[in-house]
Amino acid sequence: MNDTFLRVCAGEKTDYRPVWLMRQAGRYLPEYQKVRAKVDFLTLCKTPELAAEVTIQPVDILKVDAAILFSDILVPIEPMGMQLEFSELKGPVFHNPIRTESAIGNLRRIKPYEDVPYVLETIRLLKQSLKVPLIGFSGAPFTLATYMIEGGSSRNFIHTKRMMYQAPALFASLMTMVSDVVIDYLKAQIAAGVDAVQIFDSWVGALSPHDFDIFALPLVQRIIRELRTCQRTVPIIYFAFNSSGMLDRVKSAGADVYGLDWRIDMADAVDHLDRNHVVQGNFDPCALFGTRDSIYTEVKRIIEGGRYAPGHIFNLGHGILPETPVESAQAMVNAVHEISSKPF
Amino acid sequence: MNDTFLRVCAGEKTDYRPVWLMRQAGRYLPEYQKVRAKVDFLTLCKTPELAAEVTIQPVDILKVDAAILFSDILVPIEPMGMQLEFSELKGPVFHNPIRTESAIGNLRRIKPYEDVPYVLETIRLLKQSLKVPLIGFSGAPFTLATYMIEGGSSRNFIHTKRMMYQAPALFASLMTMVSDVVIDYLKAQIAAGVDAVQIFDSWVGALSPHDFDIFALPLVQRIIRELRTCQRTVPIIYFAFNSSGMLDRVKSAGADVYGLDWRIDMADAVDHLDRNHVVQGNFDPCALFGTRDSIYTEVKRIIEGGRYAPGHIFNLGHGILPETPVESAQAMVNAVHEISSKPF
């Protein structure tokens, strides 16, 4: 197995920087669209053979150094008692948003082996054939809670913050419940064989640093502490999107690797993390709409910016966009491997 | 006139911190909705008596220390040759997005006195009756260019960034043209009597710091330099939304005051600005969905965080949301005045 990704997670020196792309199994790939044309999105997540197939696709097509389980962060939330639908127009929708004590009381803690067996089966299938490490994942509690409270995606998170400020104990009880699910879910993924896990906090950037400290960070810390008690431990990546102004707080999550979006200069981010944490990301997904030359130049700039980190896993700063040309993603991966394997 | 706002802009000590709210003349006010029910949004912007009326409303209702001209950042862009519509569903829409050299060639530099006379007339009307300083404003070039290129609001700014990376000279020519318009427009507002101007860079946070340096910042610097040459000069506020990770670059814009969103701790922001720049903002608009107590506590926290700045104009970190209870906005303004007038 190509273990470059895992060695960088562990802070080891490697011959080149590993690279993968968030949402690398996705709509920009014709091969994915072909599979997806046969089934709806949730069915794809719940069918191990198909989920495994699309997980592997980008490894072959892009030559990335890691695969990420094809699934969705809301998959373990649905069996808590949430009515989930993926709408082409609106994205994920929960038809029963959770805004009261009784609604929270009706939620149940899932049992991963009974409630999401297809996820674990997908992992087992993938581990039989993958030649690169497999990354499992979960949403972080705040991000998952926003979907549950808002009933889907949101622009301003008014319902979530109203609960936070007006009923902090109620909000905390929901967050604790979601954290329990995240812990159980990630432990099950680790037991099933994933080689690393990433915790996606896609909406935590909606919080002020002060609110992050109070309402979100302690739950992430708890999850990471719990995962460290597993019989088998794996590297943990925490990706707090749009939190460039509070990296000094994010870094206390206790993760092995911290994800970065593109809103901060790589060298600055490495300094904010005391040159002491492995980083991942930093390439603007929209830079893939540039030319081959502009992509190469941007890859080089970011690689140079990361030189003082104990390790850098190259990645986008957010998911790859459906409109992205495949050749541009390939050009980026090639540029990472080429540039980072030479002295600079 | 209550000149507390202007004195803080100039770095002077005052008895309390001045406060105003972005979008304070807006949909959360029943008094505004009453006026708005009579005319569509663009007509409201273009009718001096009505625009002046809604500009004054929050001064009386909230007791804020400054008024901001009621208008929209796209008002001076329409007469460049853009077909503008405000759609209830989609927000602002330009029916002829600008993506080619010939489309840019067809744009014209506006003459404010001929093309947007109603804006200048609104300012003259307001100056006759206002008891607080009047803030004029403009969008910043990058933000305005995104609307022109995308044809409206956008999530990922793909068209804008594609032009930036694939045709940087073309993008630069558009940005220069928009900057010329911004300069003429703000100079006309200043000549008409505004007491300060704010440059809104609402979407510049979509850029990496590196791209901000190349594609956006130089134009903002040029605008501010030009405004300094006016016979009458006024304080200039630059608000680069969602740029907490690159304040060290933002601060070189040359403004008198820098706007802050809520994604950075106030004390950190003041330090990033070398404790040398007057700041504005930092209160999460969603914190107005809290209780009277939680609002008071948050105001106090932010006021204390700003103690080492040479001045702090209290404000939200983004526009007030339409769903906001008026009493909460009033409670915030009262809290700012009360807390900041006592030693702390």
A321/B156 CB distance under 8 A: yes
Alpha helices in B195-265 (DSSP H): 209-211, 217-228, 247-250
Per-residue pLDDT band for B124 (boundaries 50, 70, 90) equals very high
What is the C-alpha separation between B139 and B147, in angstroms, rounded?
A: 11
Per-residue pLDDT band for B90 (boundaries 50, 70, 90) equals confident
Long-range contacts of B156-162 (CB under 8 A, 24+ apart): B156/A285, B156/A286, B156/A321, B156/B206, B157/A286, B157/B203, B157/B206, B158/A286, B158/A289, B158/A321, B158/A323, B159/B97, B159/B99, B160/B206, B161/A284, B161/A286, B161/A287, B161/A289, B161/A290, B161/B206, B162/A286, B162/A289, B162/A290
Residue A324: which residues within 8 A CB-CB, separation 6 or more?
Answer: A28, A285, A288, A289
Which of B165, B208, B265 lies nearest to residue A291, judging by beta carbons? B165
B208/A321 CB distance under 8 A: no
Chain B positions contacting chain A at CB under 8 Å are 156-158, 161-162, 164-166, 205-206, 208-211, 242-248, 262-265, 268-269, 284-287, 289-291, 294, 301, 321, 323
**Among candidate residues B247, B256, B252, the one with its CA nearest the CA of residue B277:** B256
Active site residue A23: yes
A284/B205 CB distance under 8 A: no
Which H or E run includes A222?
Answer: helix A217-227
Per-residue pLDDT band for B344 (boundaries 50, 70, 90) equals low
* Predicted-complex ipTM score: 0.95
How confident is the model over A117-145, as pLDDT tens digits? 999 999 999 999 999 999 999 999 999 99
Which of A211, A242, A323 lies nearest to residue B158, judging by beta carbons? A323
What is the C-alpha separation between B31 and B21, in angstroms, rounded?
A: 16
Q: How many domains does chain B have?
A: 1
Per-residue pLDDT band for A166 (boundaries 50, 70, 90) equals very high
How confident is the model over B5-52, as pLDDT tens digits? 999 999 999 999 999 999 999 999 999 999 999 999 999 999 999 999
Which of B165, B208, B285 lies nearest to residue A263, judging by beta carbons? B208
DSSP A79: G
Per-residue pLDDT band for B89 (boundaries 50, 70, 90) equals confident
- Whether the predicted pLDDT of A344 surpasses 70: no
How confident is the model over B261-314, as pLDDT tens digits? 999 999 999 999 999 999 999 999 999 999 999 999 999 999 999 999 999 999
Per-residue pLDDT band for A89 (boundaries 50, 70, 90) equals confident
- Which amino acid is located at B80 in the chain? M
Interface test with A, best of B165, B262, B321 (most A CBs within 10 A): B165
Which of A264, A291, A301 lies nearest to residue B245, judging by beta carbons? A264
Parent domain of B210: 4-340
Active-site residue (options: B147, B185, B238, B296): B147
How confident is the model over B322-338, as pLDDT tens digits? 999 999 999 999 999 99
| CB–CB contacts below 8 A, A to B | 113
- The answer to whether residues B12 and B139 touch, using CB atoms and an 8 Å cutoff, is no
Which H or E run includes B313?
Answer: strand B312-313
Q: Which residues of B touch A243 (CB under 8 A)?
A: 263
> Can you give the CATH number for the domain in which A173 is found?
3.20.20.210
